[in-house]
Amino acid sequence: MGSRVPKGLLSVVVGNTPAARGLAVDKLMCAVPDAVVLAVSVHCRDDGYPVVQRLVAGTGVPQCMSRAATGDPVVILRQGLLAICRAAQPPHVVLALPDELDVLPFLVELWRPRIGASALGDYYAPAPVLAGIDPAAFLAELGCVHRAARLWDGADHTDPLTPAEIAARRVEAADGLIMPTPPNPADRRAGGVAALARHLNPSATLTHVPRQSGPGLELPPSFLLPAPYALEEWQARLEPVTMPRSRPGTDEGVSSVR
């Protein structure tokens, strides 16, 4: 039998602002300079499938992979990821997802094997999900409960969600949280936002990084390693009977209750 082709690594990055998401992508690229970036935008409509725009950048991948298509975002992104794997095998791909997607259910659907289609798990191993968080925007989101939007969850649109709910879901979906280092060490807002994020997701690893790009590894090494049980953990978090772990005690005046 022939030797098994090694798998690529797929890092998923989200963010509550384009700058926060871009900072997380930049730090990953500093750690893995030869990674391929697949940046996605999704333009949802009231009815029917959304328009999905893919922008691909990296060594060994042709620019013709950057294109727009109307259809199921799961199918479009799976096809794009498999095409990248064929062009630059085995790649480390950084998949930057937009706010229009409900991250956890979308990822479960993206990795779910389908009859008659290539399974993503045959070509990639999942890496931790990373969320870039801008503190000022995060506080504004948590205070906004007077309007709502519907996200794409991999099968259909979600029920209407407020910006506060979307902000909480984004943090809860992440395995790692990346925040910019505050310019002033005495900035209590940054500490308060970090405490809120830790209480929303006690299992996530939170790290502060400088806004300027530079050489060297500034991210925890675990952010760059495969997460072999990621799919099972994502599915478990979506189970309605699963009780999320709460953070004990008080942190910067923030406490958790059931």
User: What is the tens place of the pLDDT at every residue in 102-124?
Assistant: 999 999 999 988 887 778 999 99
- Model confidence band, residue 205 (pLDDT cutoffs 50, 70, 90): very high
pLDDT at residue 242 above 70? no
Coil vs helix vs strand at 61 = coil
Task: Identify the pLDDT of residue 3.
Answer: 43
CB atoms within 10 A of CB 66: 15
Contact 95, 60 (CB under 8 A): no
Average pLDDT for 44-54: 81
Model pTM?
A: 0.87
Strands 254-255, 250-251: pairing kind: antiparallel
Task: Identify the pLDDT of residue 2.
Answer: 40
